[in-house]
C-alpha cells in the first residue's frame, strides 16, 4: 500500500496545473443557486475528459460521475452553486476572473466550494490511471442549490435517483482538516397580528410592532441560555429580519414579522426550538412557522423541503473518521486535526436525516467562504486530490 500512496502523491503533483486550470474554468462561470447549468455542463465535460466510467445529470441538475461497480458505495460530494459577488469595491480582483497567480486560484467559488469538485475530478483521473478495480463504487457528485437549501440536492439523489451511499465525503472547505459534524439550523417566522387604528389615537388599536419588539428582546435573552455541546458548541438564535405593515403611515401597525436564524447544537430539535418561541408569544395573537423551500431548479423541476436542517456528528473513533485519519497519515506523514464546521453543509440531510456516515475534507479555509477576495491555495487542491484517491484505496482494504 505504501507504493500506492507514493504513486498517488506523485500523480496529484503531476496534475497540479490540470487541477488548477479545471477550477479556473469553473470559477469563470457564474453559478448562483438555480442558475448552475453552464457550470454543470463544464463539470460533466471535465469528468468525461478524466475518463470516468459514467457521467449523468439528474432531474434536479446534479452531475453524478461514477467509477467502479462494487457493492459498497462511497460518494464524494461538492456543491457547484455559489453566493453572489457582493460589493465589487471590496474585491481586489475580478471575482469571475479565475486568475491563477502566486500559488492560488482566485475568485468566487474557489473555496466555497468548486475547489472540492475540481480536486475530485483529478482524483478520478488518478484512480483510472492506476487501474483501480476493487469492490467499490464511487459516485462523484457536483450538487446544486446548496446555498439556497442545504441538502435538498441529496434528498433528491436518495429519494428520486435511488442512490443511497454507505459512506460520504463532503468536499466543503476544511483547511485540509478532517471534519465530523456541525450544528444544525432552521429558519423560523414569528408573525404578530395587531389591530389598526388612526395614528392620532393609538390606544384604540393594538400595535403589532410593540408585540414583536417585546418578543425580540426576549429572543436576545433566549440566545444566552441555549444548550451547549462540548464538541459542537452552543446553540444560537438571532433575528435577521424585522418587517411590519399597516394601512397607512398614519395608522397603528396591524402586522409584524421576525425572521429567526436558529443554530441547533446537539440535543436541540425542531420541536424544542419551536416550543421555546411559542412560550415567548403565549397570550399574544401570534404564530410560529418553520419555513418551507420550494423552487425551480435550472432543469425546470420544482422541488422542495422544510427548512429544518438537523444537527449531526459522528464519533471520532468511527471507522469512517479513522479511515480518513489513516489515509492522511499515509499520504502526508503527520496527524490530521479532527474538527467541525462552523457553517452548515449538505451533511444535514446526508447524515442528519438519512443517517449516512459522513466526514468532511476539503481544500481552502472556510473563513473565505462568502467573503470578498476568495482564493484557494493550489497546494490545497493537490492535497485534496491525493486524499480522495488515497481514501478510496484505504477504504477498499477494509
The residues that are catalytic are 81, 146
| Alpha carbon distance 259, 190 (integer Å) | 7
Number of H helices and E strands in the chain, helices first, is: 10, 22
The answer to whether the CB of 153 falls within 8 A of the CB of 295 is no
The beta-strand segments (E) located in 120-235 are: 136-143, 167-170, 178-179, 181-182, 184-193, 228-229, 233-234
CB atoms within 10 A of CB 353: 18
Burial (CB < 10 A; 0-12, 13-18, 19+), residue 185, is: buried
Burial (CB < 10 A; 0-12, 13-18, 19+), residue 21, is: middle
- Determine the 3-state secondary structure of 264 from DSSP: strand
CA distances from 49 to 37, 133, 144 (A): 18, 19, 21
Nearest CA to 295 out of 83, 147, 85 is that of 147
Any idea how long the chain is? 398
**Angle between the N-to-C axes of helices 319-332 and 2-14, in degrees from 0 to 180, rounded to the nearest 10:** 70
CA distances from 314 to 121, 246, 324, 367 (A): 27, 49, 13, 23
DSSP string, 179-207: E-EE-EEEEEEEEEE-B--BTT-GGGSB-
Amino acid at each position: 500500500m505504501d507504493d500506492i500512496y507514493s504513486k498517488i502523491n506523485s500523480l496529484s503533483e503531476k496534475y497540479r496545473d490540470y487541477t488548477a486550470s479545471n477550477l479556473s474554468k469553473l470559477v469563470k462561470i457564474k453559478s448562483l443557486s438555480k442558475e448552475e447549468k453552464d457550470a454543470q455542463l463544464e463539470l460533466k465535460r471535465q469528468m468525461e475528459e478524466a475518463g470516468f466510467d459514467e457521467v449523468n445529470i439528474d432531474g434536479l441538475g446534479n452531475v453524478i460521475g461514477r467509477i467502479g461497480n462494487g457493492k459498497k458505495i462511497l460518494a464524494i460530494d461538492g456543491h457547484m452553486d455559489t453566493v453572489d459577488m457582493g460589493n465589487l469595491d471590496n474585491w481586489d480582483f475580478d471575482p469571475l476572473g479565475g486568475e491563477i497567480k502566486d500559488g492560488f486560484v482566485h475568485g468566487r467559488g474557489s473555496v466555497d466550494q468548486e475547489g472540492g469538485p475540481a480536486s475530485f475530478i483529478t482524483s478520478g483521473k488518478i484512480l483510472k490511471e492506476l487501474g483501480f478495480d476493487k469492490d467499490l463504487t464511487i459516485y462523484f457528485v457536483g450538487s446544486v442549490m446548496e446555498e439556497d437549501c442545504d441538502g435538498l440536492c441529496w434528498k433528491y439523489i436518495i429519494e428520486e435517483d435511488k442512490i443511497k451511499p454507505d459512506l460520504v465525503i463532503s468536499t466543503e472547505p476544511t483547511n485540509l482538516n478532517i471534519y465530523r459534524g456541525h450544528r444544525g439550523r432552521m429558519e423560523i417566522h414569528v408573525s404578530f397580528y395587531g389591530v389598526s387604528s388612526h395614528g392620532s389615537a393609538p390606544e384604540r388599536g393594538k400595535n403589532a410592532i410593540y408585540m414583536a419588539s417585546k418578543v425580540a428582546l426576549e429572543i436576545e435573552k433566549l440566545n444566552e441560555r441555549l444548550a451547549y455541546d462540548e464538541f459542537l458548541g452552543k446553540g444560537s438564535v438571532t433575528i435577521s429580519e424585522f418587517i411590519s405593515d399597516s394601512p397607512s403611515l398614519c395608522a397603528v401597525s396591524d402586522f409584524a414579522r421576525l425572521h429567526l436564524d436558529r443554530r441547533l447544537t446537539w440535543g436541540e430539535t425542531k420541536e424544542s426550538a419551536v416550543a421555546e418561541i411559542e412560550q415567548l408569544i403565549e397570550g399574544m395573537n401570534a404564530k410560529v412557522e418553520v419555513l418551507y423551500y420550494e423552487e425551480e431548479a435550472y432543469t425546470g423541476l420544482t422541488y422542495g423541503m422544510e427548512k429544518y436542517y438537523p444537527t449531526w456528528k459522528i464519533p471520532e473513533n468511527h471507522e469512517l473518521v479513522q479511515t480518513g485519519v489513516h489515509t492522511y497519515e499515509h499520504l502526508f506523514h503527520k496527524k490530521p486535526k479532527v474538527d467541525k464546521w462552523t457553517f452548515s453543509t449538505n451533511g444535514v440531510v446526508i447524515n442528519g436525516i438519512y443517517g449516512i456516515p459522513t466526514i468532511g475534507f476539503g481544500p481552502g479555509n472556510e473563513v473565505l467562504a462568502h467573503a470578498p477576495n476568495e482564493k484557494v491555495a493550489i497546494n490545497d487542491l493537490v492535497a485534496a486530490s491525493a486524499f480522495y484517491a488515497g481514501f478510496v484505496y484505504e477504504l477498499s482494504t477494509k
